[in-house]
Every structure is written in structure tokens, then in C-alpha cells.
């Protein structure tokens, strides 16, 4: 049997692992929620560290906490923010819907650490120092109902700004580089999976780059949702009971200085606590980013299909053997990983949406599905950021155009006849396309044989590059 110690909370005594920094409330939650066996994301734990430090600073400035106790709480909170004590945050994601268990987990760990700093020669775990209490001091002026959603905002904002946006910036740069490099390479365009008029490979990749630029914009909009509606200061139901009127503003100011992101107190605290519309909206942008990346990856996968019996206009870098039975087979695995991430993010969007629905997550003055909401949200941010980096490093860096294949398919395309329509008419061109297909001839070959247009004019009209630049003189 593992050694334990006895801790007390408002419900009485509770055995706690002897070396744990947390107390009775956390131990009860661990016992009550053996569901996923997966604690809340580390980003939320670290956000709690920043938040509790900011709250202690605000309470000290407002004369609510003594400088000594505040300093001990801030130092302990800094360690939590740095991830030093992640192993002491064992509460499952599928816990109380308000995140009360995780808030108390933070309060208890920080109280233990702060007590150790104040106790002469002490080291955690020790009995709570009279000057540091999980609820009275670490949680002063706060409720789980405003701290947990505030930690959600902090974690989401930090990860979007410092992980997702930089990854999308790299992806955009890589795609834009390919667009410029391949601007002169003409290929067959396709609509409805059927041959269409020519397009330059550079134009195709410029479209991809534009999608990612818009994805960066959407990530910025998602970030803004996280910054402007901080729930802290609403305490139990959004009324601000048991907190100072300046507390929220001071906490947001301290957080902004600590994290380097500008946070603002919610304009309406009942809304900030009762609804999680900002997360539903922000994740909608993440879902759109996932859809964009899936489109890009899917198109590159198809353009690289082959190598001999399909499109084959792109040569994808070989990253690993593609089959356990077919020797020499190589598959577009990086593209497939992007597509799978999109599947997961779209599923997460359903989770976030359901968690935000009235009657499911948001009920009266509180949302009670916040832990699962932030778990899904942060997973989406992490997956999108990581897969964007992998897409650049493992695929785009080594991606090349198969110029010979592009030219071969372009010459075989029947839709180049479109350039002749202004000269000989739509109906005649349609008939020529059908005839060329039936006789297995190219448009250039058939029209040349029929002498419908002079050779010089035919060469001018069937200039593939010119077809992609209609305004070129």
C-alpha cells in the first residue's frame, strides 16, 4: 500500500498520497472521476499558475493580502505556470462541469508550496501554514465559476498566438515560395475531376498560399475572441459577490504583463460566465482552418498520385515505405495526416458546439461542460499547429513538379479547344473535341489537319502560357 497522510476539507477527512502537493478536495475528485484517466491539458494547469499569481498580485495591491503571503503565493504559482508540478494535477477531464475540482487542485497545490516557503525549514508537503489557505487566500476574490473559464481563455490565447499563428505563418511562406518558383510551369486545370483549361502550377499554389493567409486571419479572429471577454471578477454567478470592484481589471493587467498578451475584463459578467459563445465562435474559425488545410493536402495528394498510372504532376518526397506487401510502394502519408487532423478538428467542433448549447453545457448562470470544451479546443489548436509544421518539413520542402508529365497531359487535353471558340464558335469546337477524343488525336493535330485556322494563328491561340494570362498583350 502506498503511504498516505490525512487531509481535511469542508466535507471532513480524506487520505491523500503522502508525497502529493494537493489536498482533500483533489483526492476526492480523483476518486470520483476515474473516467478517461486523462488529466486536464497542461496548458490549462499552466494558465491557472499565471492566473493565481495575477490574483495574488491584485489582492496585495488592493490591501487584501499581506505582502509576505502574496509573495509566497506568486512564487508558488510561478512554479505551476512553468510546469514544474504537472504531476500533482491528476483530476480527470470528465469532472465537475464547472472545473471546480481543477480550481481546487490549483488552490491546494499552490497553498502547499506557499506554506513551505513561509514555514521555517519546511518542505512540501506540510500542514497548511495559518497564513495560506487554499480557499481564503489562494482563491481570494474568486470562484471556480470565473477562474476556470478565465484559465480557458489564457490557455487558448497563449496557444493560438505562440503556436498556431507561427505555424501557419511558416506554412504560408512555404506555399508562397512554391507559387513564385513554379509561376512559369503550365499544367492542365481540372473542374469536376475532369480536364479543364490550362493553369500555371504557380497559380495553383498561390491559391493554396491565399487559403493559408486567410487561415492566419481566422486564427487572429479566434485569438481576439479569447482576449476581450475575460470572466474573472464575476465570482459565483456573475454578480461579483465577495470580490473588490477593481479586482478583475487588476488581474487582467497583471496577466497581460506576465504573458505578453493584452487581456480585457468582460463587459458583461453574467454573459461571460453563463455563455461560452466566444469559444464556439473561435473554434468555428479553427474548423475552417482545418477545412482549408484538408483541401490543400487533398489536392497535392491527387496531383502526386501515380507514379505511372495516375496524374503524377507532382513528385512528393518519399518519407516511408507505403506497403507491407507491395515492394517499392510509397504513399502520400503526410497529406493523409493533415486530412485526419481535419477530421478530428471537425469532430472537436461538434464537441465545443454541444458544450456551449443551452440545456447541454450552458444552463442558467453557468456553463457546466467547460473541461471537455477546453480539452477539445486545445487539442484542435495543437493538432493544427503541429500538422502545419510537419506539412512544411516533411512534404513541401522536398516537393517538386514533374514538368514532363505536366506537358504530356497538357498536350493531350481536349479543353485547350476553348481558346479557339472565339474564332470558330462554341458548337464547332464542341464537335472538334468529340472528334479528337474519338480519333485519339490532340486538338493541335486535328485542327491542323482540317486547316480550319492557319498554322501561325493556331500556334498563337494554343499558347498554353498565354491561356493562363488572358490580359497579356
pLDDT tens per residue, range 70-83: 999 999 999 999 99
Asked about 133 being catalytic, the answer comes back as no
Class of domain 146-227+272-403: mainly alpha
Length of the chain, in residues: 473
Contact (CB, 8 A) for 156 and 226: yes
Domain with CATH 1.20.200.10 in the chain: 146-227+272-403
pLDDT digits (tens, 9 = 90+) for 366-401: 999 999 999 999 999 999 999 999 999 999 999 999
Domain with CATH 1.10.275.10 in the chain: 20-140
Catalytic residue among 137, 192, 292, 388: 192
Q: What is the pTM of this model?
A: 0.95
Gap between the Cα atoms of 473 and 470, Å rounded: 8
Query: Vertex 471, ends 466 and 472: CA angle to 5°?
Result: 50
According to the model, what pLDDT value does residue 473 have?
55
> What is the arithmetic mean of pLDDT over 218-237?
97
Q: Among 193-197, 208-212, 287-291, 358-362, which stretch is predicted with the lowest mean pLDDT?
A: 358-362
**Is 330 in a helix, a strand, or coil?**
coil
Per CATH, which fold does 20-140 belong to? Answer: Fumarase C; Chain B, domain 1 (1.10.275)
Confidence category of residue 2, pLDDT binned at 50, 70, 90: confident
Asked about 244 being catalytic, the answer comes back as no
Catalytic residue among 85, 323, 337, 380: 323
Long-range contacts of 406-409 (CB under 8 A, 24+ apart): 406/185, 406/186, 406/187, 406/188, 406/201, 406/313, 409/187, 409/188, 409/311, 409/313
The CATH number, out of the four listed (3.40.50.300, 1.20.140.10, 1.10.260.40, 1.10.40.30), of the domain defined by the range 414-467:
1.10.40.30
Domain with CATH 1.10.40.30 in the chain: 414-467
Compute how many other C-beta atoms are within 10 angstroms of the C-beta atom of residue 347: 15
Amino acid at each position: 500500500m502506498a503511504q498516505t497522510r490525512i487531509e481535511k476539507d469542508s466535507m471532513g477527512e480524506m487520505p491523500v498520497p503522502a508525497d502529493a502537493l494537493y489536498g482533500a478536495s483533489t483526492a476526492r475528485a480523483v476518486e470520483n472521476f476515474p473516467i478517461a484517466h486523462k488529466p486536464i491539458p497542461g496548458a490549462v494547469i499552466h494558465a491557472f499558475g499565471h492566473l493565481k499569481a495575477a490574483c495574488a498580485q491584485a489582492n496585495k495591491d488592493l490591501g487584501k493580502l499581506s505582502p509576505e503571503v502574496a509573495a509566497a503565493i506568486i512564487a508558488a504559482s510561478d512554479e505551476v505556470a512553468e510546469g514544474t508540478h504537472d504531476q500533482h494535477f491528476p483530476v480527470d477531464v470528465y469532472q465537475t462541469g464547472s472545473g471546480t475540482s481543477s480550481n481546487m487542485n490549483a488552490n491546494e497545490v499552490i497553498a502547499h508550496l506557499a506554506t513551505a516557503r513561509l514555514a521555517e525549514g519546511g518542505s512540501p508537503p506540510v500542514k497548511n501554514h495559518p497564513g495560506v489557505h487554499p480557499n481564503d487566500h489562494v482563491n481570494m476574490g474568486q470562484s471556480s465559476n470565473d477562474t476556470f473559464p478565465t484559465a480557458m481563455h489564457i490557455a487558448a490565447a497563449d496557444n493560438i498566438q505562440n503556436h498556431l499563428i507561427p505555424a501557419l505563418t511558416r506554412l504560408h511562406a512555404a506555399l508562397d515560395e512554391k507559387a513564385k518558383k513554379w509561376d512559369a510551369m503550365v499544367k492542365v486545370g481540372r473542374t469536376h475531376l475532369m480536364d479543364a483549361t490550362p493553369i500555371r502550377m504557380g497559380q495553383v499554389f498561390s491559391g493554396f498560399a491565399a487559403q493559408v493567409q486567410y487561415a492566419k486571419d481566422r486564427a487572429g479572429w479566434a485569438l481576439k475572441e479569447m482576449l476581450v471577454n475575460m470572466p474573472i471578477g464575476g465570482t459565483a454567478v456573475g454578480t461579483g459577490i465577495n470580490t473588490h470592484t477593481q479586482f478583475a481589471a487588476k488581474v487582467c493587467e497583471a496577466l497581460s504583463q506576465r504573458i505578453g498578451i493584452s487581456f480585457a475584463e468582460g463587459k458583461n459578467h453574467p454573459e461571460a460566465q453563463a455563455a461560452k459563445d466566444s469559444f464556439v465562435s473561435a473554434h468555428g474559425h479553427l474548423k475552417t482552418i482545418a477545412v482549408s488545410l484538408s483541401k490543400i493536402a487533398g489536392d497535392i495528394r491527387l496531383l502526386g498520385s501515380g507514379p505511372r498510372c495516375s496524374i503524377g504532376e507532382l513528385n512528393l518526397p518519399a518519407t516511408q515505405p507505403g506497403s507491407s506487401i507491395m515492394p517499392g510502394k510509397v504513399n502520400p502519408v503526410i497529406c493523409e495526416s493533415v486530412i485526419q487532423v481535419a477530421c478530428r478538428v471537425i469532430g472537436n467542433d461538434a464537441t465545443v458546439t454541444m458544450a456551449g448549447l443551452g440545456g447541454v453545457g450552458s444552463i442558467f448562470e453557468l456553463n457546466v461542460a467547460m473541461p471537455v470544451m477546453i480539452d477539445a479546443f486545445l487539442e484542435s489548436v495543437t493538432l493544427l499547429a503541429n500538422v502545419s509544421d510537419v506539412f512544411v518539413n516533411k512534404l513541401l520542402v522536398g516537393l517538386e513538379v514533374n514538368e514532363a508529365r505536366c506537358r504530356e497531359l497538357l498536350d493531350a487535353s481536349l479543353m485547350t479547344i476553348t481558346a479557339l471558340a472565339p474564332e470558330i464558335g462554341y458548337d464547332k469546337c464542341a464537335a472538334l473535341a468529340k472528334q479528337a477524343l474519338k480519333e485519339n488525336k490532340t486538338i493541335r493535330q486535328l485542327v491542323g489537319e482540317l486547316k480550319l485556322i492557319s498554322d501561325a494563328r493556331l500556334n498563337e491561340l494554343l499558347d498554353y502560357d498565354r491561356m493562363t494570362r488572358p490580359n497579356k498583350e
